[in-house]
Amino acid sequence: MSPSRREVLLQLAALAALPLPKLTFTATDPLDGTIADYQAGRRRGEWTAAEVAARALERCRQDGARWRAIDALSPTVASDARAADERLRTGRMRGPLDGVPVFAKAIYDMDGLPTTGSSADWARLFPELVRRDALEVSRLRAAGAIVLGKTAADDFAYRGNGTSSHTGQVLNPYDRTGTRTPGGSSAGSAVAVATGMAFAALGTDDGGSNRIPAQFTGVVGMKPTFGLVPRTGVIPTWPYLDTHGPLARSAADAALLLAAIAGPDASDPLALAAAFDGAPFAALRDDALAGVRLGIVEAHVPRGQMAAEAVAFWDRAVGDVRAAGAIADSFQPAVTLATYREAFANAAKARGDVAVDPKSPAPTANALLRYFAGRSADPRAAVRLGYPAFQKFYDVLPGDFAQCEPLLDQPMTDDPAGRSFARSRAEIVRQLAETMRAAGVAAMIYPTMPFNAPRAVDPWPNIRTTLGYGNWLGLPEVSVPAGLGADGMPALNISFVGLPGSDARLLAMAHAYERQSRRFVAPPRS
């Protein structure tokens, strides 16, 4: 349906009110710039990792407390930073992340800190210091990164609002009223990078937990290909949906973090087993969109339900993509947000398979036991102790531990509903790939979400989003800011979405869009 004259006038008025592009990353404080600029300054002797890490901790204790973004700070930051400076001095740097301050989310294990899961109950039940690193944290340390600590999230990464019973409601640093949500569940990670407490942070995403706060705080958030990042040492969620990835202020910084944490590991039975090549993530080209055909999925752009300003931002983002050299045309994929669940069910029915269920209780139960097996001498007793608090959120699990106990030892890969889901996923992705190849489309684009941050206490607008679509299909997606609205809040993010395995190319496209649009604007400090 064509827009009415009034709708057109509203969109034109909104476009006229949009702020002009601003040059990004021109700050004198290295924490407000890019990883590449920070490392260049270290090599020139303008600052040290020890100095910048100390500054990062200062911001965490001031801004982090102000925004309620921090779960815990690591006691080894100063020594880790000094070691990084020594490696630089002696020519033994471990790569582009060496000496770079980063964060992990509260559900990650970290040696020397308790794992609260952002839950007041678990903080009370499990106060002991964990004596291992989650695999991703271990990989970051191996790359030389300085892991500052852990960021606040929704309890057990379950909701999308940034509401922790342990540390309180995470606040949105762009909102002077203190009422609007930063999104979640990776709320603290997004706020930490938006405000320059760290260059990048780890988050997780089962149904938008990286992409929601990326949009609501105006940063880059990524949901990688399902299985690209093993999840060992992290409090589990839904094993057949859960992906872990970066939040950062730029696509290039997100790419460096992803390259460090990705790659096979047998400890996660659902992780991809293929060898991983991190080289394409290290040098993203400014012209990566030149001549590339992108598919605008109109079914994922609900213009009739979007505010005039949101529509204007979306249209401007598409214009920026085209200005960067891309060919962006309307595209109808094999499945859309309106049809993917039915397509999964029909595929299972055609196979004579059991009904699909990505939230089947048995895989989560088994994942919970596997998690505690890595940090407890008696993992079954630990599950029993923490079960009531966890089950309140993951309530597809049986109501009490005795009913759940038979599920603990069932390997997640043997769950009939989960295996049926994985078979349908493979089939639906094949169909999507065929339609993309037939149209010559390298990636799809659409708004990450069709609205900006509501108040934390309010329900979200009744507009269906694409968030679950990406998780069910296991597609990589990079969410990139499209600018601040008239109210000073991040207005919209554009998502670049591709087939599994296209993570590096999507990040390159996002980088090229950034270079053309320059839409990131840091929140005010006052």
- Known catalytic residues are 105, 185, 209
Please spell the DSSP secondary structure of 468-495, one letter per residue.
HHHHHHT--EEEEE--B-TTSSB--EEE
Three-state DSSP at 223 gives strand
Are 373 and 506 a contacting pair, CB within 8 Å? no
- Give residue 148's Cα distance to chain centre: 18
Tokens of 103: 């964060």
One-letter amino acid of 165:
S
Tokens of 364: 């989560």
State how far the alpha carbon of 257 is from the alpha carbons of 23, 82, 275, 407, in Å.
Answer: 23, 21, 18, 35
For residues 164 and 147, give the distance between their C-alpha atoms in angstroms, rounded to a whole number: 21
Strands 101-105 and 220-223: unpaired
Are 300 and 466 a contacting pair, CB within 8 Å? yes
CA proximity to 267, closest of 223, 222, 227, 209? 227
For residues 454 and 155, give the distance between their C-alpha atoms in angstroms, rounded to a whole number: 20
Strands 443-447 and 293-296: parallel
State how far the alpha carbon of 82 is from the alpha carbons of 31, 342, 369, 389, in Å.
Answer: 17, 55, 37, 40
Phi-psi region of 395 (alpha: psi -120 to 50; beta: other; left: phi over 0): alpha
For residues 499 and 289, give the distance between their C-alpha atoms in angstroms, rounded to a whole number: 17
For residues 62 and 40, give the distance between their C-alpha atoms in angstroms, rounded to a whole number: 27
| R_g of the chain, CA atoms, integer Å | 22
Question: First-to-last CA distance in the chain?
Answer: 45
Are 244 and 220 a contacting pair, CB within 8 Å? no
User: Phi then psi for 505, rounded to 5 degrees?
Assistant: -70, -40
Please spell the DSSP secondary structure of 43-65, one letter per residue.
HHTS--HHHHHHHHHHHIIIIIH
Number of C-beta neighbours around residue 41 at 10 A: 15
| Helix H or strand E encompassing 295 | strand 293-296
User: Phi then psi for 184, rounded to 5 degrees?
Assistant: -165, 180
412 HSE (CA, 13 A, CB side): 27
For residues 131 and 54, give the distance between their C-alpha atoms in angstroms, rounded to a whole number: 24
Three-state DSSP at 92 gives coil
